[in-house]
Amino acid sequence: MPRVFGCVVGARPNFMKMAPLLRALEKYDDVRTLLIHTGQHYDPQLSDVFFEDLEMRRPDIHLGVGSGTHGRQTALILEAVEKLLIEAKAEGRPVDRMIVVGDVNSTMAASLAAAKLLIPVAHVEAGLRSFDRTMPEEINRIVTDAIADLLFVSEPSGVENLRREGRPLEQIHLVGNVMIDTLRSLLPKIRPRETLERLGMDFAEFGVVTLHRPSNVDQPETLAALLEVLADVGNSLPILFPVHPRTQARIREFGLESLLRWDGNGKGGLISLPPLGYRDFLALTSSAKVIITDSGGLQEESTVLGIPCLTLRPNTERPVTVEEGTGTLVGNDAVALRRLLEDVLNGRYKRGRCPELWDGRAAERIAAILTA
């Protein structure tokens, strides 16, 4: 009987990490994958569009948990995943191993459900640490790694962190970055000019910003200060801003809409766009002059694309993007942000290099270890 690997996705950044893994595992006849979507993200623009863009097969099971407080969302996923694992076993189709990616609530909750049922857990993107426990993702990383018995790591700092936490070398595998597998496979297929035209933008040069972390968007003063600098810099370099639903809600709540423009009619400014699918977003980032973000994945993608990345966080769990890549930590310091943007515009910004093993073959390495 083939072994069954339960593969869990829930939120936007999970899809591009799981897609290459599913593809790599499909090559093994003695493995079957069971794709489980928790439903943490449910808006078509945060979920469905990625399945199309990534040519990823539809989930076998959709748990439909939706949004909620951290406790409630985690509890709902835990309960639903546990139920499905128990039922699968009762029906004679037990899940032999769970594979989780990244650091969202779905990652942690699904790991916990599996571990309590003695189903081993493999964590892809293990070992990353921001050392900032005010970030919900840091708690998710620590708990998931503590539970997993196979730790697939994307950069050397992850190996160091796990060793410091006492994890044995046999469990740790530095394999590279699965999200970069997706980027490398889709980069040749994107058409930046077509995307810009479709979005009604005709800028020769522009920046891209994304913002969704509670620490940046949940306080009116912080969000207002960041948007003010971006709107101002946008007068010299238009800034395209695909807005996450969480951020959209805050902008409305805090009455900050006037800082945004809603069209790209040749004029600059900070230009609001709906959340974009993977291909459209890559079309923009790959041709941007600068990327400004609080996202984890985008720090890594910018480094591979060789585009300056001003990271709107005081710390990063992905230090290789700063030490070797194109990233700089800016926190939410509006003065530093303005200065660094000027450096980029004046051609004074540093250059980076691509970290080792971010070569598009991480999923193959992981599949080989999982099936050994």
- Give the catalytic positions in this structure: 212
| Helix (H) / strand (E) containing 110 | helix 105-116
Q: Which of 37, 173, 212, 261 binds ligand UD1 (CB under 6 A)?
A: 212
Q: Which stretch binds ligand UD1 (CB under 6 A): 35-43, 119-127, 173-181, 358-366?
A: 35-43
Write out the binding residues for ligand UD1, residues 93-132 only, by CB under 6 A: 103-105
* Amino acid letter, residue 188: P
Q: Does 40 bind ligand UD1 (CB under 6 A)?
A: yes
Q: Which of 94, 120, 136, 192 binds ligand UD1 (CB under 6 A)?
A: 136
CB of 368 to ligand UD1, least distance (A): 28
Write out the binding residues for ligand UD1, residues 43-82 only, by CB under 6 A: 43, 46, 67
CA atoms of 18 and 41, how far apart (whole Å) = 15
Closest CB to ligand UD1 among residues 125, 137 = 137
| Helix (H) / strand (E) containing 278 | helix 278-286
Q: Determine contact, residues 307/207, Cβ cutoff 8 Å.
A: no
Write out the binding residues for ligand UD1, residues 225-244 only, by CB under 6 A: 244
Closest CB to ligand UD1 among residues 210, 287 = 210
Closest CB to ligand UD1 among residues 12, 97 = 12
Helix axis angle, 362-371 to 178-186, nearest 10°: 130
The residue length of the chain stands at 372
Q: What's the CA angle centered on 287, arms 281 and 292, to 5 degrees?
A: 70
Q: Does 289 bind ligand UD1 (CB under 6 A)?
A: no
CA atoms of 250 and 318, how far apart (whole Å) = 27
Closest CB to ligand UD1 among residues 25, 147 = 147
List % helix, strand, coil for the chain (3-state, nearest 5).
Answer: 45, 15, 40
Binding region for ligand UD1 (CB under 6 A): 11-13, 40-43, 46, 67, 103-105, 136-137, 212, 244-246
